Amino acid sequence: MHSTVYTGLLCSLAAPALGVVWESLSGGVPSTWNLLDEPTTGTMSLAISLSRQNIDQLQSTLTKVSTPGESEYGQWLEKDDVEAQFPVVDEAPVVSWLKSAGIQNYTLDGALLKFSGNVATVNKLLNTTFAVYEKEGSIKLRTSEYSIPSSLASYIDVISPTVYFGKTRKALPYPTKGHLKARSDIAASCSDQITPECIKEMYNVGDYTPKVSSGSKIGFGSFLNQSASESDLADYQKLFDIPTQSFTVTTLNGGVNNQSDSIDNVDEANLDVQLISAVSHPLPIHEFITGGTAPYLPDADEEDEDENEPYLIYYEYLLSKTNAELPQVISHSYGDDEQTVPVKYAKSVCNLIGLNTLRGLTILHSSGDEGVGSACQSTDGTKAQFNPIFPATCPYVTAVGGTSGVSPEYAWEASSGGFSNIWDRAWFQESAVETYLTHVTEETKKYYSQYTDFEGRGFPDVSSHSLYPDFEIILGGEAYLSGGTSAACPTFAGIIGLLNDARLRAGKPVLGYLNPFLYSKGYKALTDITTGSSYGCTGIDPQSGEEVDGGLTIAGAYWNATEGWDPVTGLGTPNFQKLKELVLSL
């Protein structure tokens, strides 16, 4: 990663006139956040995401290399190619602006220009007022809008954290205590609980054995102070007769690889690594732990509990590494209600994801565990609406929804899905979504249209088993039952890792960005889920089962699983042997 540190004396140049409100919350600060303080002292840190040139060509470039039948299919770009085709703008005008306002310390990491300064100085720089807000114990230093000089509009994508009041969530229910079974009892019935043998049976993996020498690798992202336990993975592998295999770790942005026994710090990460190991052993596994470094320190000796949103820093980091340094498949089991994510921020992150997929990375995100929605309200609390989940709604992500049951599977009731309010319907899914809409009555469309936008990007794209029966995992040396789309996502990632293994051993490139393949050909090798439905907007959180404080209710809010794509299970669940035959024919 290109990194430059600047320090210097205050510049006497006059600051450029503030000509444009760059981001603004239309309804003001979300009604569920309480104002605690408006500090003027203390140091705060922000990051400016610099614009990239030619970003309007990202979709067309990606389509050429990711669509089967195109002459350039599978010709993924290297890091240097991406940087050459989509260069970051010159940072000099932005640096000059910071210096003219008295900002003395700033660092350039790739396209992120990070800086820190006194709160009063930053308020003046951005023509705004930052304040401390609290919600359910989460504390954030934020504002409702900020401005930049009009002359810098083509240089700056977004500045964060500023107007982002979202709260990233793990996509799993709270694990429940299980019990360790005798070896002879394990997988006696997959209708009881899901084991590695059950997963392989359900998704027709058979006796396929990948080889480390193929070069296929799988990764997963960990946020919210999560880090996978090495000892729990060893216990899991011992329990299910999986040969011992560890994993490697990268920490960034203050992330900590905390090998503690607290299940609150390992429940998500353990689920990820254990299920990836269950499906794809012995392929190498890598964990990326991204911290949420506090952007505001009131006093030098006082730590603030604020957590910065992780996505910009994380995806910029991935983009800074060479293709050879990264796993080709990366699973993520976290998300935010889309309406809580500022549009500029969401689009900036989504473009970073797209640039990474252009290099042959498969970026998977769980669709979420809120069904149609949980709070089901607009950010300002005045309007009822369905709640899509970000980053799953980004068209460059392959979003993984959830199923229940074993044989047959049916839609999991809490599998998040629906239609984005930020992105239009994706080019690769036009036909699939139009077909789905023929199954929806005109009366239902009219009723739902006040709560969702059927012209938005539909998600999820695919699905895998989530809950009922639950997955057996190890937490703190003990057996627990867990699941959710947090289980579906790493399971699907493991399957893609196996498919990449098969292609690499056949001298073919990795699958990379999946969506054009899935919607044009891959769906034929998936198991279409046609029964069951998701629900939501009842005033009860489908993930936790608890009442949603201030949530709005919408009568009859649910999505049905139907033939073909649907907003609960996507195109369906994987059938490895069919997929392997198909991808080897490309």
Q: How many CA atoms lie within 13 A of 14 on its CB side?
A: 3
307: tokens are 């957590």
Q: Residue 280: which H helix or E strand, with range?
A: helix 267-280
Question: CA nearest 339: which of 256, 264, 422?
Answer: 422
31: burial class by Cβ within 10 Å (0-12, 13-18, 19+)?
middle
Backbone φ and ψ for 53, nearest 5 degrees, come out as: -75, 150
Q: 207 among the known binding-site residues?
A: no
- Residue 474 known to bind ligand: no
Non-local (6+) Cβ contacts of 165 within 8 A are: 25, 29, 30, 33, 133, 135, 140, 142, 340, 379
Q: Facing residues of 362 across strands?
A: 329
Cα separation of 176 and 290, whole Å?
26
H-helix or E-strand spanning residue 485: helix 485-505
DSSP state of 428: G
Interaxial angle between packed helices 311-320 and 343-357, expressed in degrees from 0 to 180 and rounded to the nearest 10: 20
> CA end-to-end span of the chain, whole Å?
34
Query: Which residues carry out catalysis?
Result: 268, 272, 486
Task: Dig out the tokens for 111 from the structure.
Answer: 């396209």
Nearest to 335, CA basis, from 291, 308, 369, 374: 369
Q: Which residue is associated with the tokens 């907003």?
A: 567
Distance CA 295, CA 308 (A): 7
Q: Is 566 annotated as a binding residue?
A: yes
* Residue 369 to residue 466: CA distance in whole angstroms: 9
Dist CA 29 CA 309 (whole Å): 17
Cα separation, 392 vs 402, whole angstroms: 13
Closest by CA to 416, choosing from 272, 501, 542, 285, is 542
Beta strands in 378-477 (DSSP E): 389-390, 398-404, 410-411, 418-424, 456-459, 462-465, 471-475
Question: What CA–CA distance (Å, rounded) separates 355 from 318?
Answer: 10
Beta-bridge partners for 252: 290
Binding residues for Ca(2+): 528-529, 564, 566
Binding residues: 528-529, 564, 566
